[in-house]
Amino acid sequence: MSGPSGVGKGTVCANLRHRMPELIYSVSATTRHPRQGEINGINYFFKSREQFQDMIANDALLEWAEYVGNYYGTPRDFVDRTLASGKDIILEIEVQGALKVKQKFPEGVFIFLMPPSLEELRQRITGRGTENADVIDHRMSVAVEEMNLLRHYDYAVVNDEIDAACHRIQSIITAEHCQAKRILADMPQLPAASEKA
Ligand SMILES: Nc1nc2c(ncn2[C@@H]2O[C@H](COP(=O)(O)OP(=O)(O)O)[C@@H](O)[C@H]2O)c(=O)[nH]1
Ligand SMILES: Nc1ncnc2c1ncn2[C@@H]1O[C@H](COP(=O)(O)OP(=O)(O)O)[C@@H](O)[C@H]1O
């Protein structure tokens, strides 16, 4: 899942945790400083630039990107282990990273969370009170670039109202699980049997 800063990704994911407790969430590494209330290992793994560069050098990241002056990346091991256990994992990452994940996992489901308007987006980032005015301006200009990449995503969900947006995402995930090709992929014998019939 991607979406501009302040659109409500964190809020939506927190709500989805209650609706779909079976989903697993990837915890990213970042060089950004923790916001008030953020906990290392829960919200992010907070790293120095040197530590982050070591993770890159050790190929410990599935993808990484620089966003508004900081590095963000997805630890590879946790994603691999979760997928190997047959569970679904949500990555809440920005667009450059999502495009890299799409190259590696084209079967992934790519959802872009949209704001109802740019004015509302600015109000949400400002209202959150976690970034200064310069950073908000920078994030708003990146937001427009991010929305220009919407065509690479499978779904666009407008976060007008939290419950409605979460319901749409839940419907997308449920529908994806019901895709015949996914069900057939888990039943390798079935296509051959039906072809003979
Ligand atoms: N590529 C990439 N982006 C990430 C990762 N983790 C978080 N991000 C993105 O980095 C951007 C900034 O995140 P953050 O500083 O927490 O700000 P927020 O989106 O306003 O809460 C957001 O678009 C996140 O989705 C990651 O592991 N990889
Ligand atoms: N649907 C919504 N309507 C109104 N405010 C929202 C909505 N979704 C999120 N918010 C608020 O917008 C701000 C940014 O949300 P947040 O989840 O931190 O965004 P993100 O993780 O995308 O940066 C928060 O103050 C949050 O309470």
pLDDT at 18 exceeding the cut of 90: yes
Any idea which residue has 């009170």 for tokens?
129
- Alpha-carbon distance of 126 to 140, in angstroms, equals 11
pLDDT at res. 182: 87
Is 127 flagged in the annotation as binding? no
Both tokens of residue 140? 């708003």
Residues in Cβ contact with 53 at an 8 Å cutoff, skipping those fewer than 6 apart: none
pLDDT at 38 exceeding the cut of 90: yes
pLDDT at res. 197: 52
Residues in Cβ contact with 104 at an 8 Å cutoff, skipping those fewer than 6 apart: 62, 63
pLDDT at res. 191: 63
- Alpha-carbon distance of 110 to 143, in angstroms, equals 17
Both tokens of residue 13? 């994911």
Is 3 flagged in the annotation as binding? yes
Residue (of 1, 2, 45) closest to 143 by Cα position:
2
Average pLDDT score, the chain: 95
Q: How far is the CA of 124 from the centre of ligand 2 (A)?
A: 6
Q: How confident is the model over 121-150, as a mean pLDDT?
A: 95
pLDDT at 185 exceeding the cut of 90: no
CA-proximal residue: ligand 1, atom 18 (nearest): 5
Evaluate: CB of 116 within 6 angstroms of ligand 2: no
| The residue type at 77 | D
Q: Which pLDDT tens digit goes with each residue over 45-94?
A: 999 999 999 999 999 999 999 999 999 999 999 999 999 999 999 999 99
Q: How far is the CA of 178 from the centre of ligand 1 (A)?
A: 29
CA-proximal residue: ligand 2, atom 23 (nearest): 6
Residue (of 161, 123, 149) closest to 12 by Cα position:
161
Is 108 flagged in the annotation as binding? no
Domains by residue range for the chain, with CATH: 9-186 (3.40.50.300)
pLDDT at res. 119: 97
**What pTM was computed for the model?**
0.94
Q: How far is the CA of 175 from the centre of ligand 1 (A)?
A: 26
Q: How far is the CA of 122 from the centre of ligand 2 (A)?
A: 11
Q: How far is CA 68 from the centre of its chain?
A: 17
